[in-house]
Amino acid sequence: MDTTGSASGQRAATWAWLTLVVITIGSWWLSPAHSGGTALPSAPITAVVLLLAIIKSRLIIRYFMEVRDAPRWLRHSTDAWLAVLFAAIFVIYLI
Amino acid sequence: MSRVDDAAGAAGGEGARQSGRRMLRRTPDGVKPDVWLMTLFFPAWYAVFGVIICLLTRVTPPPRPDVTAADKVAFFTQHHLTIQIGFTLLLILLGGAAMTNGLVGYQMKRMSVGSVFAYGYIGGMSVGALPGFLLVTVCFLTAAFRPDRDPALISLLYDLGMLSYNGSLGCFTAAYLVLAVAILYDKNNVFPKWFSYVSIWQIITEVIATQMFVFASGPFSWNGSIAFWLAVVVFSVWLGALIVLLRGAARQEPVTAPALA
Amino acid sequence: MTLTARPEQRRDEHVPGDNDMWVMVLGDMIIFAGYFIVFMIYRSMHAREFLAAQEHLDVNIGVVNTVILLTSSWFVVRAVTAARAGRSAQAIRLVYGGGLGGVLFMALKGYEWVAKIRAGHGNSEMFYSFYYVVTGVHLIHVLIGLIVLGTVVRELRNPGRRRATVVESGAIYWHMVDLLWVIIFALFYVMR
C-alpha cells in the first residue's frame, strides 16, 4: 500500500506549484522581449534567471517527481544533473 | 538439432552424438546453437562494418559539407584505394546486415505481441539499407571509378552519398517504432522495457537528422554536433545495448523450445 | 480499490514509478542537457545575433505556455494522489485535465511557430534554427506524453489493474516534459 506522505505530499506539491507560477510570471519582466527597445546583455539578470531556473527545476524534480522521498542515488543523480548542466551553462555564458 | 541427435542415438550412433556434442561445447548449455551463432555474428558483422565506414571509406565521421568541389575531388583522390576496397567489401558483406536484422526479428517473434511487429522491423530495416548505405556505396564507388570526371559531378556524388547515408531516416524510424511498441506490449519480456525507450531516442535523432538537408554547416549539418555527434552517441548506446540484450534473449530461450513458425 | 501494493521497501523512501522509466527520464535529461550546452556554445559565439533574435520571441505566449504546463503537472500530481487513495474516477478526470494542458500547449506552440515563420524568422537565423529544433523535439515529447497519459487512464479504468508503477511512471514522464520546458523557457525566452 503506497501512502508515502499522501496528504502532506499533496500540500507541498501545491505550494511548489504556486511558487513555480509566481516565479514564471515574475520572469516575464526579465525577458529581453519585454524590455522594449533594444535589449542589452546583462550578466546579473542572466544569473538571476539561471538561479530561478535551478529553483524551478529542483521544485519539479523534488515535489512533482517525488524525488524528495526517493533513495539517495536518485536524489544525488538528479542534483548532479542540475549542478553540472547549470554550471556549464553559466560558465559558457560568461566566456 | 536435438531431433537429429535423438535419431543418431536411437540408431546406435553414440559416437556421432558425442562428436556432435563436442562441436557444440562452446555454446552455453541450454541455448539453441544456431541462435547463439547468429548472436555472436551480430557484433562481429558490426565490427567489420565499423572498420569499413570509419577506417576504409571514411564516411564516418563524415567529411565536411561546407567545402568546394575541388576539396571533394581531393577527398576522393586521397582515399581512392580504401574507398574502393571498403565499399566493394561492403557490397559482398551486405547479406550480413540482413542476417543481423533477421536475428532481431527472430527474437521479436518470441514476443507475445505476434509476428507482425517482427516483420515490420525486418521490412523497415531492410528498406532502410538502400538509402542507408547502398546509395553512398554506389555513389562513392562511381566517383572513384573515373577520378578525372567533371568536378561538379564528383561534388554531386559526394553530396548525394553523404545526404542519403546520414539522412536516411524514415525507414529506420519505422523499424525503431515497431520495435519500441512491441517491447512495451510484450508479456514475455524478451527485451527489457528500458530498451524500448532507448529505441524511441533513436527515433528522435532521426527526426533531428531531417535538418541535415537544410544546413551545410553548423550544429545541424551532416557533421554537426547535434545532428551527427550527439546522434552517434545515442546510436552507440542503442547498438551496444542491443548486442548485450540479444545474448540475454538467446539464453532465455530453452534449447528444447519448438522451432518458431 | 486502492492501487495494488508495491513490493516492500524502506518506508521513508521509495523509487516512484519503475526503473525502466527512470532510464528513459534520466537518459532524456542527459540528451537534452547536450542540446542545451551546444546551444549555449553557439550562443556565446554569436551573442549579439542571438540576443537580437530573442527579442522577437513572444514572451507572453512563453509565460502562458509555461504556466499551462506547470498547472498540467500539478493536475497529474493530484491524479497520482487520488489514484493512491483509490479514487480512480477522480484520478482519471485529473489526468484528462493534465492532458488538456498538453493539448493547449501544443496549440499555442503551433500558433507561435506559424507567427514566427510568417514574420520571416525561419531556419536561416541560427537562433531560430535552434529554437525550432529544440522546441520541436520537446513538442514530440509532449505528444508522446499525451499517449503516456492515455495509458495511465486506461490503467485506471480497469479495476483489475491500477498498478502503482504504471500510474507513477506516466506521471514522472509528464513531469520531465514540464521540467525540460522550464529550462527551455529560461534559455530561449528569458536569459540575456
Grid cell, residue C24, equals 528513459
Partners of residue B194 in chain C, C-beta under 8 Å: 19-20, 23-24
Domain count, chain C: 1
Cell numbers that stand for B168 in this block: 536516411
B204 touches chain C (CB under 8 A): yes
Rounded CA-CA distance C108/C102 in Å is 10
CATH number at residue C115: 1.20.120.80
**Is C31's Cβ below 8 Å from some Cβ in A?**
no
114-153 of C, contacting A, C-beta below 8 A: none
Q: Which of A14, A30, A42 sits opposite C74 (nearest CB)?
A: A14
Task: Report the percentage of chain B scoring pLDDT > 70.
Answer: 90
Considering the domain boundaries, does residue C81 fall inside one? yes
Q: Is there a contact between C31 and B215 if contact means CB atoms under 8 Å apart?
A: no
Q: Which residues of B fall within a CB distance of 8 Å from C42? A: 218-219
Name all chains with 3 or more CB-CB pairs below 8 Å to chain C.
Answer: A, B
Distance, CA of B166 to chain centre: 14
pLDDT of residue B260: 77
* Nearest Cα to Cα of residue B59 among B134, B145, B136, B139: B136
Q: Which of C18, C19, C22, C24 should we substitute to test contact with B (largest number of B Cβ atoms within 10 Å)?
A: C24
Residue C19 lies in a domain: no
Kindly state whether A32 is in contact with chain C, defined as any CB-CB distance less than 8 angstroms. Answer: yes
Q: Which residue has the cell 524551478?
A: A56
Is position A73 within any domain?
Answer: yes
Domain-embedded: residue B260: no
The string of DSSP codes covering chain B is: -HHHHHHHHHTT-HHHHHHHHHHHTTSPTTS-HHHHHHHHHHHHHHHHHHIIIIIIS--SSPPPSSS-HHHHHHHHHHTHHHHHHHHHHHHHHHHHHHHHHHHHHHHHHTSTT-HHHHHHHHHHHHHHHIIIIIHHHHHHHHHHH-TTS-HHHHHHHHHHHHHHHHH-HHHHHHHHHHHHHHHHH-TT-SS-HHHHHHHHHHHHHHHHHGGGGT-SSSTTSTT-IIIIIIHHHHHHHHHHHHHHHHHHHHHHS-TTSPPP-
B161-219, pLDDT tens digit by residue? Answer: 999 998 877 779 999 999 999 999 999 999 999 999 999 999 999 889 889 999 999 99
Please name the member of A30, A39, A85 whose beta carbon is closest to the beta carbon of C36: A85
DSSP 8-class letter at C4: B
Provide the pLDDT for residue C10.
47
Peptide bond into B61 cis (omega under 30): yes
The pLDDT confidence band at residue C164, using thresholds 50, 70 and 90, is: confident
Taking all residues of chain C, what is their mean pLDDT, rounded to a whole number? 92
Please state the domain count of chain A. Answer: 1
B204–C137 CB contact, under 8 Å: yes
Which own/partner pairs from B243-246 qualify as long-range (CB within 8 Å, at least 24 positions apart)?
B243/B42, B243/B43, B243/B46, B245/B191, B245/B192, B245/B195, B246/B39, B246/B42, B246/B103, B246/B104, B246/B107
- Cβ contact A45–C192 (<8 Å): yes
Q: Residue C67 pLDDT > 50, yes or no?
A: yes
Residue B217 lies in a domain: yes
- How many residues comprise chain B? 261
Is residue B53 one of the residues assigned to a domain? yes
In a domain, A1, yes or no: no
Residue B235: domain span: 32-252
Domain residues for C79? 56-190
CB contact under 8 A, B230 and C133: no
Give the 3-state secondary structure of residue C163.
strand
C68-89: pLDDT as tens digits: 999 999 999 999 999 999 999 9
Q: Which pLDDT score is estimated for A3?
A: 47
- Predicted confidence (pLDDT) at residue C9 exceeds the cutoff of 80: no
Q: Is C67 on the interface with A (CB under 8 A)?
A: yes
State the average pLDDT over residues C131-149: 96
Question: What would the mean pLDDT of B246-251 be, rounded to a whole number?
Answer: 94
Q: Rounded to the nearest 5 degrees, what angle is found at the Cα of A78, between the Cα atoms of A73 and A83? A: 120
Q: How confident is the model at residue A40 (pLDDT cuts 50, 70, 90)?
A: confident
Whether the Cβ atoms of residue A24 and residue C66 lie closer than 8 Å to each other: yes
Interface of C with B (CB under 8 A): 18-21, 23-24, 27-28, 31, 34-35, 38, 42, 123, 126, 129-130, 133, 136-137, 140, 144
Contact assignment for A42 to C192 by CB distance below 8 Å = yes
In a domain, B22, yes or no: no
Averaged pLDDT for residues C113-129: 91
Q: Which pLDDT band, with edges at 50, 70 and 90, does C98 fall under?
A: very high
Q: Domain for residue B24, yes or no?
A: no
Alpha-carbon distance C140 to C144, whole Å? 6
Element (H, E) at C63: helix C59-84
Q: What's the domain count of chain B?
A: 1
Task: For C14, name the nearest residue in chain A, comparing CA atoms only.
Answer: A70
- Cβ–Cβ gap A33/C55 under 8 Å: yes
> Which residue segment(s) compose the domain that A72 sits in?
6-94
- In chain B, residues with a C-beta closer than 8 Å to the C-beta of C27 are 197-198, 201
Residue at C66 is within a domain: yes
Q: Is A41 on the interface with C (CB under 8 A)?
A: yes
User: Is C70's CB within 8 Å of A30's CB?
Assistant: no
Is C64 domain-assigned? yes
Segment C170-179, tens digit of pLDDT: 999 999 999 9
- Calpha distance C5→B5 (Å, rounded): 48
Residue A87 lies in a domain: yes
Q: Does the residue B6 lie in any domain?
A: no
Which whole number is the average pLDDT over B11-23?
52
A29 inside domain:
yes
- The pLDDT tens digits for A15-31 are 999 999 999 999 988 88
Q: What value of ipTM does the predicted structure carry?
A: 0.91
pLDDT of residue B255: 81
Gap from A33 CA to chain C (nearest CA, Å)? 4
